Structure 1
Amino acid sequence: MARIKPQALLIQSKKKKGSTRVSLATIITCNLLVILVLLSLYATYNHWYKRSAFHFSLSISLKNTKDAGAVKKFDLPGYAVSSCS
């Protein structure tokens, strides 16, 4: 380790340390990141909220269609018939 001369050490200790400043670009970047996270959370909340309401209304409508009346049944075979000779 190099030794510092006493005169240089005295000058170094008397120097005022400047305050560390945060640049404007850093502030803007952090604010945009926070806004992006908040908008993402809001969009996710809206999606899940509307999704549960949609499933609830869908289940009600499906129950109503089952009780609406007799289901039409067709006399069709459940398999394919080949017409090759």
Structure 2
Amino acid sequence: MDSFEIIIKEETFRIIRSGPENDIFSVFNHATCHIIKKNSFGIWKSVEHRFGTDSLPIDEVGEAIEKHYKDFDAAVGNAPQLSEF
């Protein structure tokens, strides 16, 4: 699985895509774990809070996911696409 890390407000988050054809992502660090997905209106939502703090900068995480896969697709050419982008 493709994964990457981002730093938002001095917190590091690891983001893992659930599968190559999937638009569901696990977002976690030492303090929290959330499962997020972009809905049909283009808004990122937490679909499951597994543990830790309730707060998650979900908009910033969603923007990082979109940028990561856009850059990744441009570099590789045939990488999996997010269905709602």
TM category, shorter:
under 0.3
Larger radius of gyration: 1
Higher strand share: 2
Q: Give the structure-1-normalised TM-score.
A: 0.24
Higher helix share: 1
Q: Give the structure-2-normalised TM-score.
A: 0.24
Higher relative contact order (CA 8 A, sep 6+): 2
